[in-house]
């Protein structure tokens, strides 16, 4: 067949390639299918690191078809590595394997068709079924990327490249996700403290809310799997008088110094983390403060030798902050969330106890005395088992019968305590009873006098007299 370089179907798209794969290694893999005209490895523009994909163009459509046929593998085919005992290089169901990785082959299409046919796959190349939402918020991973690096300092370029590589590596694992309400600040000056950073975040939030629109709110609802029609028309308004409500946490990572067995907090490490109550607020701060020369006063200035001070436009290069959404581990993030909730609960409990103590201290002297008496009276009633009554002995059942039940306890309270403290009233006697008692006492005294002593009782005091002293008429 005659060469048809511009004919459709001559280009294939390779995925799941090793990140260190080169054009030479790919040519060795594809040359058996036919004449390879060109190979293009897709790389990240910011970091220059391979994305694990490539385009290969054959001179003939038949060669591309043979490559597609060889790369066909059933989705449920188990993956066998080269070091496994079950690995057979000549097996027909392995597809294309390069350096122990299964290479997935698809026909190359234009950008629009590719976006419609895009299928997410896991590390083994199996298609991930769409559940209608982005559980890991991966659509935010490129938020904050800068295309033009010419105006950056060398120090900032190295830090941005390192951050991008670290983010890409973490997101390969399904355990990591992009936190939509937490930002990281890199390239931060070591002299910046929490108060200064907080003021800067509030300023960036106030000025950056205009850079957030309804489409951003719709994208968040889609990622959560919620109805995008519920999105608000404008972001949540920010109240600068209640900063704690909108910025729950702000933390600057610092060095920990240990001296004489005691740990102390040292200087800043140059990066910080800020938590937001709303995603749109975090997005506003990122779009306002990231790579903005207006906030260069908080950025770290390079002290390296040979640092290029002037840019290509003849203006001096200013260091800028690197602001990105934080990539976190799901398990660790859940533990940290529970720890924060527990700590906040303890703080709330301490505040309540402190307020209760302050309320106690504000009581007057009379209030404290009355409360003290009331507690003492309640304690006395509980110890005695009763709260009132004459305090007499408990009734005893006669022999041969069960023990009588105790009398019902009176209601505790101020009246019961007062009744317990009051003395019982004296019984009023009639005149006849008084005369009768006097006669009986007089009669008893006559008998006792015969024994050698005379006892006189005037009703109040008792006196003993010897016989013959002040005898009575009948003695």
Write down the pLDDT at residue 371.
85
Angle, alpha carbons 253-199-182 (nearest 5°): 50
Write down the pLDDT at residue 110.
73
Beta strands in 278-353 (DSSP E): 322-329
Write down the pLDDT at residue 400.
46
Report how far residue 71's alpha carbon sits from residue 87's, in angstroms, rounded to the nearest whole number.
17
- Cα–Cα distance list, 368 to 115, 147, 373 (Å): 76, 72, 9
- Cα–Cα distance list, 420 to 47, 97, 340, 385, 415 (Å): 89, 97, 54, 13, 9
Structure tokens at 186: 């890199």
- Contact (CB, 8 A) for 38 and 80: no
Count of CB atoms within 10 A of residue 167's CB? 19
Which residues make beta-bridge pairs with 258? 263
Residue holding tokens 């003290």? 372
Say which DSSP state 16 is in: S
DSSP codes, 340-384: HHHHHHHHHHHHHHHHHHHHHHTS-HHHHHHHHHHHHHHHHHHHH
- Contact (CB, 8 A) for 208 and 285: yes
Report how far residue 46's alpha carbon sits from residue 75's, in angstroms, rounded to the nearest whole number.
33
Q: Report CA 305 to chain centroid distance, whole Å.
A: 43
Nearest to 163 by CA among 250, 253, 271: 271
In order along its 475 residues, the chain shows pLDDT tens digits of 444 445 678 999 998 899 889 999 999 999 999 999 999 999 988 888 888 999 999 999 999 999 998 887 654 455 555 444 444 444 555 678 888 888 889 888 777 666 555 555 555 555 544 444 678 999 999 999 998 888 888 888 889 999 999 999 999 888 999 999 999 999 999 999 999 999 999 999 999 999 999 999 999 998 988 888 888 888 999 998 999 999 999 999 999 888 888 888 888 999 999 999 999 999 999 999 999 999 988 998 755 444 445 555 666 788 899 999 999 998 888 888 888 888 888 888 888 888 777 777 777 788 888 888 888 888 755 444 444 444 444 444 444 444 445 555 444 555 555 555 555 556 566 777 888 888 888 887 776 665 544 444 444 444 444 444 555 555 5
Write down the pLDDT at residue 263.
84
């Amino acid at each position: 067949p005659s060469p048809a370089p511009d004919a459709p179907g001559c280009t294939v798209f390779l995925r799941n390639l090793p990140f260190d794969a080169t054009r030479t290694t790919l040519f060795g893999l594809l040359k058996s299918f036919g004449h390879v005209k060109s190979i293009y490895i897709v790389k990240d523009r910011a970091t220059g690191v391979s994305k694990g994909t490539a385009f290969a163009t054959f001179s003939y459509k038949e060669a591309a078809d043979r490559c597609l046929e060889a790369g066909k593998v059933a989705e449920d085919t188990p993956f066998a590595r080269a070091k496994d005992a079950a690995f057979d290089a000549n097996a027909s169901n392995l597809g294309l394997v390069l350096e122990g990785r299964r290479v997935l082959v698809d026909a190359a299409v234009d950008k629009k068709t590719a976006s419609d046919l895009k299928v997410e796959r896991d590390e083994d190349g199996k298609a991930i079924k769409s559940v209608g939402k982005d559980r890991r918020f991966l659509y935010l991973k490129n938020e904050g990327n800068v295309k033009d690096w010419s105006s950056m300092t060398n120090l900032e370029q190295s830090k941005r490249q390192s951050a991008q590589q670290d983010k890409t590596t973490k997101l390969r694992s399904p355990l990591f996700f992009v936190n939509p309400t937490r930002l990281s600040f890199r390239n931060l000056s070591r002299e910046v403290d929490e108060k200064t950073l907080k003021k800067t975040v509030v300023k960036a939030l106030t000025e950056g809310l205009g850079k957030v629109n309804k489409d951003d709110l719709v994208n968040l609802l889609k990622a959560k799997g919620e109805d995008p029609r519920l999105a608000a028309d404008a972001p949540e308004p920010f109240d600068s008088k209640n900063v704690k409500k909108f910025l729950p946490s702000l933390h600057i990572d610092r060095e920990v110094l240990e001296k004489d067995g005691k740990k102390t907090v040292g200087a800043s490490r140059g990066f910080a983390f800020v938590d937001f109550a709303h995603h749109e607020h975090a997005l506003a701060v990122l779009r306002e403060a990231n790579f903005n020369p207006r906030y260069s006063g908080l950025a770290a200035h390079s002290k390296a030798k040979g640092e290029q001070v002037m840019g290509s436009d003849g203006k001096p290069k200013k260091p800028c902050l690197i602001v990105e959404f934080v990539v976190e581990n799901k398990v660790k993030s859940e533990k940290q969330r529970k720890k924060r909730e527990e700590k906040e609960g303890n703080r709330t409990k301490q505040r309540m106890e402190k307020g209760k103590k302050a309320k106690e201290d504000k009581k007057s002297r009379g209030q404290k005395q009355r409360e003290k008496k009331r507690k003492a009276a309640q304690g006395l009633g509980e110890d005695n088992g009763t709260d009132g009554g004459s305090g007499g002995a408990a009734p005893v059942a006669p022999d041969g019968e069960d023990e009588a039940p105790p009398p019902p306890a009176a209601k505790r309270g101020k009246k019961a305590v007062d009744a317990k403290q009051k003395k019982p009233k004296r019984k009023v006697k009639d005149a006849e009873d008084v005369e009768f008692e006097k006669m009986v006492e007089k009669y008893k005294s006559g008998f006792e006098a015969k024994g050698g002593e005379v006892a006189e009782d005037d009703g109040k005091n008792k006196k003993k007299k010897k016989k013959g002293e002040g005898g009575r008429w009948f003695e």
